[in-house]
């Protein structure tokens, strides 16, 4: 067996998932990791490269990775179709082109569980659950388009579909909820008597599973859904987090139908007015918060074992990190 370290290139290395993965790989014996990120950072091992264009920089070609974990994406719930096409489809095509020019390394494509979503409750989603032809938004559509490109890659590939990643370092999921609650703009959405149930995945659990997908032999051609395997009632769990952060919990529920109408109106205003940023509520967010989405992750547990961090521990660590960040910014 070769004693050479496994060379791993992580795209999206300045983002939440890619950054956490790169930090973990740097601490792992037998691995040599570098990154590509959209933002320029003071780190010589992270190149600032726009993946929406063909990769011509020598940084990646000289490194010649054994594995590329493609975590870069436009993960927002809002944006133009052209933005999603460029950042999720064109970027994936350019990463695959880079891989073809650097010896066909294994590709681990970080897709999304949203490729399965329908405007309805869904339970026990498996890897065999049908995908498309309709999608809840352009993010889901373009992440699946990326999957189809990866399936045509002549080297080894693994497609990972995480669900609702959270934890320290998250810049989207929990921070949005906390900011809305602090401003008094967060209602509960759905049915108070029967709140929606959903799976989540803690960042450390996801990183461990992505490392296994990158290094474990015999996984080529695998698609795998990734969650913590412990579905939670979504709105009560949000209420618990807010209470532990001493933030005001919502006192009113808005029905799913009403929320969808409000979200559609907000989206129309934003599009017609060409307003910056995201609408305060989108239809995609309503379906995420007010419809149940659970997954059968027996395949992931067979391949990677049980999640490395329980949901209780994950929530406690996340709450502690949010508290610490709040103290640091005072």
List active site positions.
Answer: 139
Separation of alpha carbons 44 and 59, rounded Å:
10
Separation of alpha carbons 163 and 116, rounded Å:
11
How many beta carbons lie within 10 A of that of residue 278, not counting itself?
A: 16
How many beta carbons lie within 10 A of that of residue 34, not counting itself?
A: 21
- 296-to-163, 204, 225, 258 alpha-carbon distances in Å: 12, 20, 8, 30
Separation of alpha carbons 99 and 154, rounded Å:
10
Separation of alpha carbons 210 and 216, rounded Å:
10
How many beta carbons lie within 10 A of that of residue 13, not counting itself?
A: 29
Which residues does residue 197 pair with via DSSP β-bridges, in sequence order? 233
How many beta carbons lie within 10 A of that of residue 228, not counting itself?
A: 25
């Amino acid at each position: 067996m070769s004693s050479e370290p496994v060379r791993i290139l992580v795209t999206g290395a300045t983002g939440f998932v890619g950054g956490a993965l790169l930090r973990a790989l740097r601490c792992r014996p037998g691995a040599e990791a570098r990154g590509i990120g959209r933002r320029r950072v003071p780190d010589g091992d992270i190149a600032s490269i726009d993946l929406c264009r063909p990769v011509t920089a020598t940084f990646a070609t000289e490194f010649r990775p054994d594995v590329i974990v493609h975590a870069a994406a436009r993960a927002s719930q809002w944006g133009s179709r052209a933005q999603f096409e460029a950042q999720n489809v064109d970027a994936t095509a350019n990463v695959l082109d880079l891989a073809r020019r650097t010896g066909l390394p294994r590709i681990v494509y970080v897709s999304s569980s949203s490729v399965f979503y329908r405007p309805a409750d869904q339970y026990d989603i498996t890897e065999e659950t049908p995908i498309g032809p309709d999608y809840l938004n352009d993010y889901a559509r373009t992440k699946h388009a990326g999957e189809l490109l990866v399936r045509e890659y002549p080297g080894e590939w693994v497609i990972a579909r995480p669900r609702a990643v959270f934890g320290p370092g998250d810049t989207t999921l929990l921070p949005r909820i906390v900011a809305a609650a602090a401003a008094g703009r967060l209602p509960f959405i759905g049915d108070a008597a029967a709140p929606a149930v959903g799976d989540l995945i803690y960042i450390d659990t996801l990183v461990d599973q992505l490392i296994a997908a990158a290094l474990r032999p015999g996984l080529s051609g695998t698609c795998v859904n990734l969650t913590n395997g412990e579905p939670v009632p979504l709105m009560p769990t949000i209420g618990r987090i807010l209470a532990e952060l001493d933030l005001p919990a919502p006192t009113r529920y808005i029905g799913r139908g009403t929320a969808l109408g409000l979200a559609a109106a907000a989206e129309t205003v934003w599009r017609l007015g060409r307003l910056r940023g995201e609408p305060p509520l989108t239809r995609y967010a309503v379906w995420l918060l007010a419809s149940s989405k659970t997954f059968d992750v027996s395949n992931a547990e067979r391949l990677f074992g049980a999640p490395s961090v329980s949901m209780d521990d994950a929530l406690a660590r996340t709450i502690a990190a949010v508290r610490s960040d709040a103290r640091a910014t005072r």
